[in-house]
Amino acid sequence: MVRRIQGAVHILLIRDPYGNLGLPKGHLEAGEEAMAAALRETEEETGLESLVLGPELLTIDWYFRLEGRLIHKFCAFYLLHSREGEPVPEMDEGITECLWIPMEEAIEKIAYDNARTVVVEAVDRIRAGAHDFEFL
């Protein structure tokens, strides 16, 4: 999610249950499309509403274990724009902080390599002007 703050484009990162900075993400609900899930999960995890959906960036995947089972998760990311409001972390989900970070700094601060590729893609698209947001 992006927003222009004091003339500079910032990316919203969240502090996850492991204490790492990452991107809002989640899962599809029954019958839900990826873009709807991206908006819903971002709203739930950050408390921000009235988000504007932009182009799809990347789909990343990773493996993790849950109750002894190996899970292969896929997550599609979109360039989202937040025009207003202050983010509020979803403490019930273990999110302890939401931080607007200048986009160059966000590349360095994000903890996960696969999520970093999403941020790099977003920054590259913003720099190239390949977006539909008038604020950039």
* pLDDT tens-place string over residues 33-77: 999 999 999 999 999 999 999 999 999 988 888 899 998 988 999
> What per-residue confidence (pLDDT) applies to 100?
98
Between CA 119 and CA 122 the distance in angstroms is 5
pTM score: 0.88
Q: Give the CA distances from residue 75 to residues 56, 84, 114, 127, 128, in Å, rounded to whole numbers and listed in that order.
A: 11, 25, 10, 24, 24
Q: If you average pLDDT over residues 7-24, what whole number do you get?
A: 95
Between CA 107 and CA 4 the distance in angstroms is 16
Q: If you average pLDDT over residues 68-93, what whole number do you get?
A: 93
Structural domains for the chain: 2-128 (3.90.79.10)
Provide the pLDDT confidence category of residue 129 given band limits of 50, 70 and 90.
confident
Whose tokens are 């941020």? That residue is 119
> What per-residue confidence (pLDDT) applies to 127?
87
